[in-house]
Amino acid sequence: MTVKNNLLRLLFFTLVITAILVAVTHTPQFLKFYYPYPYRNLIELNAKEFGVDPLLVAAIIRTESHFREDAVSPKGALGLMQIMPETARWVAEQLNLGTLTDEQILSPEINIKLGTWYLASLLKEFNGRLDVAIAAYNGGRGRVSKWLHNNTWSGHYHDRHQIPFPETRQFLYKVRAAYEKYQRLYSHEKSLSPTKNHVRINKVQDE
């Protein structure tokens, strides 16, 4: 009986601890450790300027670099928003920022401005289709346009399995999941009032 009682006692305490851990890990305070919001002022400033939801920008940064400003991918993408140098210089030209060095592109102030403008341009090009713009941010606007034109991908989230590139498929899934979390955690905060022409979702769902 003693062994049985000890086992029951152990099972009871295990269940209690598990329940406490589940409750704690689902609190907003805990989730904000996994979905932080650094560079908030820069993100909101540029999101307002270019008409993009700042929480979408935050979700992309978390997915791309986990907010590491010195991040450099094996392919050469730079900074918080993981912009390829040629894309960064093209965007800089559109914004009259002059010719940028890689070091300048890595700067959070410049990187967030370039990435947010580029995201806004994709949303405009694809008529506000969120999933298509997210996929194009990773896979390239020309490539995604071709997928849509050839009916390779419908452009809908529930058809993401049709996306030929596994990396882009995963990127779309991760950004949408992160975006949902950022909306849950931060959308009620006063400083995040919607800016003009935002494309927003309340939960991860099909377009």
Residues forming the active site? 64
Closest among 196, 175, 207 to 55, alpha carbons compared: 175
In DSSP notation, 75-87 reads T--BTTTTB-HHH
Distance CA 58, CA 61 (A): 5
CA end-to-end distance (rounded Å), the chain: 59
Distance CA 64, CA 128 (A): 21
Structure tokens at 35: 């979905």
Distance CA 40, CA 170 (A): 25
Structure tokens at 48: 């307002």
Give the helix/strand (H/E) hosting 204.
none
Structure tokens at 81: 């928003």
In this structure, is the dihedral angle defined by the CA atoms of residues 133, 134, 137 and 141, taken in order, positive or negative?
A: negative
